[in-house]
Copies of this chain bind each other. A is one copy, B any other.
Amino acid sequence: MTTPPPNAAAFSCPLPLSTRAEIQIAHGGGGRLTQELIDTIFAPAFRNAALDARHDGAALVLGAGTGKLAFTTDSHVVSPLFFPGGDIGKLAVCGTVNDLAMCGARPRWLSAGFILEEGLPVETLRRVVASMAEAARAAGVEIVTGDTKVVERGKGDGLYVNTAGVGVIERDVAIAPASVRPGDIVLLSGDIGRHGMAILAQREGLAFESPIESDCACLWPAVEALLACGASVHCLRDLTRGGLATATIEIAEAAQVELALDEGAVEVTEPVRGACEILGMDPFYVANEGRFIAIVPEADAEGALAAISSHAHGGPARKIGIVREAKRPRVTLRSVVGVERILDRLSGEQLPRIC
């Protein structure tokens, strides 16, 4: 019998939600507690086929012969509102555009719902709105409808913004965890960990020799190139809250497979690696806002890599792992010295309010 790592049980087996009385910060972290909230409260109440697919957005069928739409939403509560490489406005547009892209949908229209705190400088709102407009233009989407509410001082935090998005699924694709097959290759579009560490460095007032900029970017051009290259795309996922580890765990569980990743193939820049070491963070769990994984058949992997790399940010895309049959779904990570470990969902909150 081996000794379990200290506190492993405490972290990996939190109380079920039914025995918790109050919402905790970690319920918004994208990890185990967020999943529990979805499983025990939202999914049973709202049950329908689109929601049950558990993707970044819903695929909607208008009627016979009319094609499919994608529909998604994200609220943004990032703190601070402005950070190296972006701000809450750019983040809100890119985040929703990226969720549509992950459905294989061309992003077309966004809504914008603002919750403003009394006393917010009008100039701050103006800067955020200008940033949203610029990001929308760059992504080729229109912000076509909106809403503004104002809450009293101390009932908000400057500015929260919700963006919902509608996109058009133009090709006959089945991009979903259920399409993932053993033998498929896992591709990653660039380096990881920048967004979360940029926010954290800004928030903590840390100064590094090379400042870390968020990777916040619109992923549709890379996805459009990928779809156009003829590769059969089985699954796409952007690596937001919970990072690469959480995204791959969600896919492994939904597809009932093992994703075997190769740590040495995953690029983490030196500034991000250094900041993670100082702050005790694991870059595999740090949020990104402009990176995604694509899972494709082995025969299509080289073409897919070239297509993604033609529009990728943060370096060429890389093969980072393969899909294996598995009795129990899991994600394994082989280190550079050949040791294999299992990646598990975070139960707590690593970085609150990073998006």
Contact = CB atoms under 8 A, between A and B. Distances in A.
Interface of A: 17, 20-29, 34, 37-38, 41-42, 45-46, 48, 50-51, 57-58, 60, 62, 66-67, 69, 71-77, 108-109, 111-123, 125-126, 129-130, 132-133, 136, 142-152, 154-157, 160, 162, 164, 166, 168, 352-353, 355
Contacts of A48: 142-144
A21 to B, nearest CB: 6
Q: Which of A20, A67, A155 has the most CB of B within 10 A?
A: A155
A116 B41 contact: no
27 contacts: A22-B119, A22-B120, A22-B121, A23-B116, A23-B122, A25-B150, A25-B152, A27-B116, A28-B149, A29-B150, A34-B148, A50-B142, A50-B145, A51-B145, A58-B111, A60-B109, A69-B69, A71-B111, A72-B111, A73-B146, A74-B113, A111-B164, A113-B162, A147-B162, A149-B355, A152-B352, A152-B353
A51 B143 contact: yes
B157 A45 contact: no
Given A148-B34, A156-B155, A166-B166, A118 B25 contact: yes
Nearest to A162: B162
Given A48-B142, A66-B67, A60 B166 contact: yes
Nearest to A73: B111
A76 B149 CA distance: 8
Contacts of A27: 116, 148, 150
A115 B75 contact: yes
Contacts of A77: 115, 149, 151
Contacts of A114: 75
A218 B281 CA distance: 48
Given A27-B148, A75-B114, 9 more contacts: A22-B119, A27-B150, A41-B129, A42-B112, A46-B132, A50-B144, A62-B66, A150-B352, A151-B157
Nearest to A46: B143
Given A144-B60, A151-B353, A133 B25 contact: no
B145 A71 contact: yes
Contacts of A115: 75, 77, 115, 160
Contacts of A118: 22-25
Contacts of A122: 17, 20-23, 41
Contacts of A166: 60, 69, 71, 166
A27 B24 CA distance: 31
Contacts of A75: 113-115, 147-149, 162
A125 B24 contact: no
Contacts of A123: 21
A146 B149 CA distance: 20
Given A23-B116, A27-B116, A109-B50, A126 B41 contact: yes
Contacts of A154: 154
Contacts of A157: 151, 155-156
A131 to B, nearest CB: 9
A142 B51 CA distance: 9
A23 B108 contact: no
Contact of A74 (B46, B133, B147): B147
